Each structure stands twice: as C-alpha cells, then as structure tokens.
Amino acid sequence: MKIPDKEENIAEYLLFMWQTEDLLRACDLDVDQVQRSVIDSAYETEEGRAEARDWYEGLIMMMKHEGVQREGHLQVNKNLITELTGLHLRLIKDPEESEYIRVYYNTLPHIVTLRAKAGDKQLPELETCFTALYGYLLLKLQKREVTGETQAAVAQITSLLRLLSRKYKTMDQQKEE
C-alpha cells in the first residue's frame, strides 16, 4: 500500500488520511488488529510491515492524544484544510487566477446546497468539498446508489480540488526554490 504523495496531490492525500482515521477507528485503535486486517496483506516485506506498523501506531497515539478516537480529524489534517483554505482565498481574490475563479463559481452552488443539506452553514467551503467527496467515496465503497445530482456535484467539486491541488503543488515548489 502506498501513501499518496502530499506534495503531488494534496486533495488525494487528505482524503487518504481521513480514510485512514476511519480505518483505525474500525480497528478500535488497536495496532495488532491493524496488523492483521491491513498491514500483513498490504506489505510484502518484513521491513515494509515494520515501517507500516510504526506509522499506524504513531497515528493511533496521535488520535488518542488529540481525543479523536470516535470522530473528527487529527490536527495535522485540520492544518492542511486551513492551509488550503488560505490558498483558496488568495486564489479567488487574484484577478490573474481567472480559471480558478471560474471553476470556484461553478462549484459554489453545489457547496451552498451541500451546506444547507448538512445544516452546518459555518463549515468552511473547502471542508464541505472534502466532506462531500469523502461521503461519495464511502457510498461507492458500499455500492450504494448515487443520484445524478450528487454525481454532478462531485464532478464539479473534483474539478475545483484538482485545480487547487495543482496550485498547492506549484506554491510548494516555489517555496523550495
């Protein structure tokens, strides 16, 4: 199993981390259960299994320490949403970012609809987008029916997050130079 590269696609990485948090909860934050359920079948070498166990064990300790055993997200993942929100806000205010602004305004009606359905109008826009994509992924994993309306919203949100991920990657590369 390969962890998505955070610098390559921040959106994919964040969704993977949310899924990992839920996976650890499903294993009752028990590293031995994670070993049996995930690690043993996903990693071929003893070294790979040992590294994976250490990584999962570290996440379990963080989840317990931060009190997100049952719900919520690790602070490191919340920080990524905050960082992405900052970038998002800069992009929608930058007149040179016409493509991003266009995609954002095409996505905005879906965000408003999702927030209204969730009843949490205070949830940041990007968190609404990630929550929608994560919910969609769960529905697909459960082989549940997805409405055309939901598919359209997911497609538009995916376009926005894909573009935001590219902007994040470019920003990250510029920091390194």
pTM of the model: 0.90
What confidence score (pLDDT) does residue 118 get? 79
Q: What is the mean pLDDT of residues 31-47?
A: 94
CB 140 within 8 A of CB 103: no
Helical segments of the chain, H only = 10-26, 31-34, 40-42, 46-66, 75-93, 98-118, 125-141, 148-176
Q: Which residue has the tokens 């266009």?
A: 102
CA angle 78, 79, 82 (to 5 degrees): 90
Would you place residue 4 in the very low, low, confident or very high pLDDT band (cuts 50, 70, 90)?
A: confident
Decide if pLDDT at 123 tops 70. Answer: yes
Burial class (CB in 10 A: 0-12, 13-18, 19+), 88: buried
Q: What is the mean pLDDT of residues 3-12?
A: 89
Token readout for 50 is 């040992």
What confidence score (pLDDT) does residue 120 get? 66
Where are the chain's structural domains? 10-66, 75-176
Decide if pLDDT at 176 tops 70. Answer: no
Report pLDDT digits (tens) over 47-98.
999 999 999 999 999 999 999 999 999 999 999 999 999 999 999 999 999 9
